[in-house]
Structure 1
Amino acid sequence: MATIKERTAKDGTPRYTAEVRLKGYPAQTATFKHKTKAKKWIQDTESAIREGRHFKTTEAKKHTLADLADRYIKDVLPKKPKQAVRQKQQMEWWKEQIGVYLLSDVTPALIGQCRDELAAGTTCRGTQRSPATVVRYMAALSSAFTEAVKEWGWLEDSPMRKVTKPTESDGRVRCLDDDERARLLAACQASSNKQLYLCVILALSTGMRQAELMGLKWPDVNLKDGFLILHKTKNGTRRRVPLAGHGLELLREYGKVRRLDTSLLFPSNIDPLKPLDLRTPWETALRRAEIEDFKWHDLRHCTASYLAMNGASLAEIAEVLGHKTLAMVKRYAHLSDGHVSNVVASMNAKIFGGV
């Protein structure tokens, strides 16, 4: 036997509480914003109970999703320092949306509804999220459920296994053509901020992320041999970055006069222990150069694209940019098609000669 009871929530929207009662099994309940979701849950739950697939442990009825989020933030995130800030914010979002639900009532349908609302921007915070961002939110919740299943014994299985993730795009690739690059560099040279031009040159010539560049310290820079060491990168690995050409020359000149109150290459004028904020001069330079739809991170795409067009392999591009796998650099593969063709032609010429 199954019933659906309707009530009005504090915000004035309807809520539908579905209850399933089958002889020999404890009653199961779940609450939904849409009646169709409640009916679907009833059908799925009844089928699962009859087929022996419905596992609702006692622990799952003792703990809410808010309990799950709080324990994950307290016990697990300290072990993930590079993800802690972002995942805490994501878990707080899930807690805000469905924190009141018992874990036994957190169904794939409920999570899917939150996923859709997050993407559409129809939640209380009202900000539309990209598919990639939605995937990150779902990954945080999935990680928490995994802990609850494997380590805490709160659940028999994770409901995330039955929730479909949005399809992510191949990734944005916006590069400067020769004319745009010349205009941008001219605008940076003319900027009232004396560090802007050097920072843009270094970003273009090395592919460093903005945070990596702004976090550079003099002890990690070898101007004689032309390289620097990044101790803290996004993927958590230590990376050696080669310096050459115009960027190295500019940095050597810049290094002749250093501030004694900080070890940062580019310290803030207000607080020497904090990095320089280039947001305003950067945006001004873009405007003066009449360049649209271009972000600082796109300088990194420029580096990869220039490397590909000059014959670098995907493995070499990945090494320069600091990617652990080739997946992130496959977007530049088409730019090196000519180089690949030459390699294949050369191989065939050596094997088969003029035949």
Structure 2
Amino acid sequence: MATFVKTPSGTWKALIRKNGWPTTSKTFRTKCDAEDWSRRTEDEMVRGVYLSRTVSEKMTVKTALERYLSEVTPTKKPTTQRSEGVSATNLISFLGSYSLAAVSSELVASYRDHRLAQGKSNNTVRIELALLSNLFTIGIQEWGLGLIFNPVANIRKPSPGEGRDRRLSVNEEKVLLEAVDAHNNPMLGWIVRIAIETGMRQSEILNIRRSQIDLKKRIVRLFDTKNDSTRTVPLTMDATRIFTLALNNPVRPIDTDLVFFGEPGRDGKRSPYQFVKVWGGIKSALGMCDLHFHDLRHEAVSRLVEGGLSDQEVASISGHKSMQMLRRYTHLRAEDLVFKLDKMNQSETE
């Protein structure tokens, strides 16, 4: 049975004590509102479906995201941690002051439209919505926030798009390789060439240890990948030559097993070689600002397909889990297809 108490400020506090349930209370502007809430709450208790919404009503999106970043994000890969940190900042700027209980599907849709109107890419907005959705999932399943649904689940997500189709022209590759080879640290040139030759991701290349490379068998074993599955990458003759140079780097320090190493940090440990700033400077100087490092992976995968490898063979090298995603990363040059068509027609007429 509920009891009602008028507070000194003139509001009404409803207090419910029922066997088998924690004591529950809530303050309202009028006694009528307090009585309505108590009847609904007691009915839910009788039916065994009551969930205390007190925490979700008091916890803001900002507080929840800060807890998520401190408890959940550290369990993920470094690249994901950085991405979630940026996404959380953007979410907080728009939704931070709302309580979790106040976040509706309409409000989330408003955030989506706001970000798209700012000119943010579909993929950026999808990543931010994915973080918000996971926040609510964790809150419902693990934090006991008393929420009954995920407000992100039912809204339309921006389409992922067709993916980038940036390819390197022959001249672009020539001047790019000349520029990175001319840099005072040879590791930059080695990294760029390995990306083009193997299709490995930037993070995969930077985290390679010497023990993962078998020059005799011409393979690299990758353990720390984006999708957490190990794979073995075969090496071309040129990739083998580059790895040989990298392994024989005369300035390699004795305190790291990284093939591509950086300077010691504050803790005295060496992290992988960081080249984002110099890479950006070289692209700008060459007038190739639209080229992303990840485009080198696209280039490599497309070349594997053009070389005649099957989808399954390419996927085993690139690490793509689905043929659909592999096709999004594969862009064949029309002029190369014209050449193949001519060869096919020529063979038919002979």
Q: What is the TM-score with the length of structure 2 in the denominator? A: 0.70
Measure how far apart 1:101 and its partner are: 2.3
Q: What's the secondary structure of 1:196's corresponding residue?
A: helix
* Kept after mapping to 1: 8 A contact 2:221/2:233: yes
Amino acid paired to 1:214: L
Once residues 285 and 73 of structure 1 are traced to their aligned partners in structure 2, the CA distance between those partners, rounded to angstroms, is 34
Once residues 182 and 86 of structure 2 are traced to their aligned partners in structure 1, the CA distance between those partners, rounded to angstroms, is 40
Q: For 1:192, which of 181, 184, 187 is the aligned residue? A: 184
Measure how far apart 1:291 and its partner are: 4.1
Q: For 2:262, which of 243, 252, 268 is the aligned residue? A: 268
Where in structure 1 are there 5+ consecutive unaligned residues? 1-20, 28-54, 122-127, 346-355
Measure how far apart 1:79 and its partner are: 4.3
Q: 1:78 to 1:266 in 2, by over 3 A?
A: closer
Q: For 1:237, which of 229, 238, 260 is the aligned residue? A: 229
1:35-54 correspondence runs (5 A): none
Q: What's the secondary structure of 1:156's corresponding residue?
A: coil
Matching residue of 2:200: 208
Matching residue of 2:61: 65
Q: What's the secondary structure of 1:165's corresponding residue?
A: coil
Matching residue of 1:97: 94
Q: What's the secondary structure of 2:148's corresponding residue?
A: coil
1:63-212 correspondence runs (5 A): 63-81=59-77, 83-121=80-118, 128-151=119-142, 152=144, 154-212=146-204
Measure how far apart 1:245 and its partner are: 0.6
Where in structure 2 are there 5+ consecutive unaligned residues? 1-31, 39-49, 345-350
Once residues 143 and 220 of structure 1 are traced to their aligned partners in structure 2, the CA distance between those partners, rounded to angstroms, is 34
Residue 302 in 1 paired to residue 299 in 2?
Answer: yes
Q: What is the TM-score with the length of structure 1 in the denominator? A: 0.69
Q: 1:221 to 1:70 in 2, by over 3 A?
A: same
Measure how far apart 1:320 and its partner are: 1.5
Aligned residues: 289
Higher mean displacement: 65-74 or 222-231: 65-74
CA RMSD, aligned part only? 3.5
Q: 1:295 to 1:263 in 2, by over 3 A?
A: same
Q: 1:166 to 1:56 in 2, by over 3 A?
A: farther
Matching residue of 1:227: 219
Amino acid paired to 2:147: L
Measure how far apart 1:175 and its partner are: 1.0
Q: 1:295 to 1:219 in 2, by over 3 A?
A: same
Once residues 181 and 203 of structure 2 are traced to their aligned partners in structure 1, the CA distance between those partners, rounded to angstroms, is 22
* Kept after mapping to 2: 8 A contact 1:61/1:103: yes
Once residues 176 and 291 of structure 2 are traced to their aligned partners in structure 1, the CA distance between those partners, rounded to angstroms, is 11
- Identical aligned residues as a percent: 29
Q: 1:331 to 1:74 in 2, by over 3 A?
A: closer
Matching residue of 2:321: 324
